[in-house]
Amino acid sequence: MSVVLDGGLSWREVARIGAGETLVLSERAVARVAHARKIVDAIVAAGIRAYGVNTGVGALSDTVVDVASQSRLSRNIVLSHACGVGPLLPPRAVRSIIAAQIANFSHGHSGVRPAVVNHLAAFLAQDCIPEVPSKGSAGYLTHNAHTALVLIGEGHAVVRGERMTGREALAAIGLAPLVLEAKEGLSLVNGTACATGLFALALSRAEHLLQWADAVAALTLEAAGCQMAAFDEAVLALRPSAGIARVGATLRARLAGSGLIAAALGRRTQDALSLRAVPHAHGAAWDVFEQAGAVVNRELASVTDNPAVSGTPEHPLVSSQAHAVAPALGQAADGLAIAIAQIAAMSERRMDRLVNPLVSGLPPFLASDAGSHSGFMIAQYTATALSAENRRLAAPASTDGGITSGLQEDFLAHPTAAASKLHDIIDNAEHILAIELMAAAQAHDFLAGKGKRAAGTQALYSMVRENVAHYEDDRPLGADIETLRALIAGEKPAT
């Protein structure tokens, strides 16, 4: 399938492109790109002083570059900025970043030639994935530069699964290396495409994760014999929140008709907070998720190039501004990271209530033969360790600060770092939820005959047992965790 870019993209469309869909520009979008290029050509012809067009960049912004050197300036910007380090971004992330970059160019204020956009779109269409190191961007520069390397025949890319040089990759998809013209080098490394693409992909993962979190919590709540009165619609409405209402409705629907819940009615005055506050914590995360999605959609609707060009070729305008800085993105990613970390921490606490013989009413550590078997004792350690790591990762990136480029760039918002660690937190949260899901299914095994599961939880329990068997210390438990993590992280929703 293809996503058609006309007026702009949404984060959901960027995530779909990351997952493999292609991107096609409408005639109107192509016309906007071409019009902006004519403005840049007019600026060059008139000798109008413009940052990154006929001047150096960063602290060298007052250094004038003559016309003969402007193409070399564009190439040199790409080469000098391609200094990322660390593990490579996965293909989905690179594709999402490229989609966000094309969306930025399509607004018609960047000034790259249509050929540049066409090359980038060809990368998506023909599965050409530039090698982009994951670390090194205080804002956006290094990630984008590594993609741009392949456009000029440098660097490396993977084409349909085969690693090759940038020049070989272009030849494999029927393209020649680009010779960059004025401003194109700066536009290719500029803007917030990196953070925006990573964030859009994180939103897609987070939505899937939150849906699973609600489902897994329901299976645990049923095993723990929760008191459903806390989730009554009228009771939850006392604290107005779309997220709380959503989670409450989900729990009521999934647990409807549960014999285990009916048997536990009145067993306790109230449940522990890790059970009773599921709508509040999960609901808060859903609310933050919706807010974060709105921020990313605004970013995709924005021009994030510096400088931006406008006007007409007869009356060209160039504007130096700070649209490439994205405090809102960093703050939103930090907020969602905190929300997901809290969801994962609550999951670990619920899981502990299932394995802890002091409160569970179940065999110690859900072991089939406590003593000779350890059951889920150490799986809870793993969940605790991952939850602790998430607490460290949840420290905000957007307040890190830093000074670069000889005091010229003396404020940094770190949106890319914020989006990157959000992915790391989601990775850990997927594993934690997998451990809770596995423990909840094991707990239900010990509750056989105590009451019938609800239809909603029976479907989830069956899905687990289709993938992993009851655990009897008969195999490495880590493999089961990875199996269920893959289930949670996959495209299939919780049934």
Q: Look up residue 227 and give its two tokens.
A: 């008191």
What is the CA 399 to chain-centroid distance, rounded? 20
* C-beta separation of 203 from 15 below 8 A: yes
Alpha-carbon distance 480 to 233, whole Å?
36
Which of 51, 140, 461, 471 is the catalytic position?
Answer: 51
Nearest Cα residue to 299 out of 24, 99, 81: 99
Whether 51 is a known active-site residue: answer yes
Sole residue written with tokens 């984060």: 11
* C-beta separation of 203 from 285 below 8 A: no
Q: What is the DSSP letter of 494?
A: P
Q: What residues are paired with 135 via a beta bridge?
A: 85
What are the b/e assignments for 192-228, b being 16+ CB within 10 Å?
bbbbbbbbbbbbbbbbbbbebbbbbbbbbbbbbbbbb
Classify 159 as helix, strand or coil.
Answer: strand
Alpha-carbon distance 477 to 491, whole Å?
24
Whole-Å CA distances, 365 to 362, 447, 480, 481 = 8, 14, 16, 16
Q: Is 135 left (phi over 0), alpha (psi -120 to 50) or beta?
A: beta
Sole residue written with tokens 């992915």: 423
Q: How many CA atoms lie within 13 A of 369 on its CB side?
A: 5
Alpha-carbon distance 82 to 157, whole Å?
14
* C-beta separation of 120 from 101 below 8 A: yes
Which residues are part of the catalytic machinery?
A: 51
